[in-house]
Amino acid sequence: MINVGLLGCGNVGHILARHAENFRIVAVFDIIPDRAQELAALSHAEPYADFDEFLRQDTDIIVEAASVAAVRRYGEAILGAGKDLVVLSGGALADDEFRTRLIEAARSAGRKIRVPSGAVTGLDNLKIGQISPLQTLLLRTTKSPGSLGISTPARMEIFKGMAHECIKQYPKNINVAVALGLAAGREADVELYVDPDVERNVHEIFAEGEFGDIYIRVRNVPSPENPATSYMAALSILTLLKNLDNPLVVGT
């Protein structure tokens, strides 16, 4: 049984607590103590308002489900304490300098940084880009205007450029672009649209290389408790944790 610590006690943490299988949540931390207390009661874990105390607990892996800022603030300390780290807020890894430091911290401690599939699919096959470079890697994301605090009567493009630039403007909304780039070995181009006629976040992935071409379209159902969270993203973490100690590995 794998002992898990949760960094961030929002909607994703609640989903993990309700569906824990092959792992147990033993410690939870949030900068808002009441949120940690609430999730601790649900998961039968111990709540912590002090990060250093949280880090001293008997956990094998820490799941970050908080924010880009939380990854940057706590990531190196988690790895240095001998814990594996699951990063849901992959936008933190868009910063080359920080990503290099985090990888070096993991290497020095003999630990792993794990980035789940999140709100998209296809990351495993996009890894072929690390061997045979992709000529095209594009993420086209469409969201409702309200989710980004925008009012518009018609579909509108609000960003076009590279992932590292998009993440600066929309740090909570484009983590998947960074995950795609990490998998493929090259940065993704991003087109971000708002459309008043869409009810779900839509991610379209275009990839092309010597192997041929890929087109993937994902329409995410929001989490029942928090429309700002993709239910698929939470399920991807559950799947990762469920299979950590499985001797049969499917996919690259």
Residue 85: alpha-carbon gap to chain centroid: 11
Q: What is the pLDDT of residue 252?
A: 65
Q: Which CATH architecture has domain 2-118+233-242?
A: 3-Layer(aba) Sandwich (3.40)
Q: Which CATH architecture has domain 123-220?
A: 2-Layer Sandwich (3.30)
Q: Binding residue per annotation — 175? A: yes
The model carries a pTM of 0.91
The residues that bridge with 222 in the sheet, in sequence order, are 230
Residue 65, CA distances (Å) to 41, 69, 195 in order? 18, 11, 27
Q: What is the pLDDT of residue 167?
A: 86
Q: Which two tokens stand for residue 164?
A: 């590292």
Q: What is the pLDDT of residue 166?
A: 92
Q: Binding residue per annotation — 228? A: no
Q: What are residue 231's phi and psi, to 5 degrees?
A: -65, -35
Mean pLDDT by 10 residues, the chain (252 residues): 95 92 95 96 96 98 95 98 96 94 98 93 93 97 90 96 90 86 96 94 96 95 72 91 91 73
Active site residues: 203
In the chain, where the domains are located: 2-118+233-242, 123-220
Alpha-carbon gap, residue 252 to 249, rounded angstroms? 8
What is the SS3 assignment for 193? strand
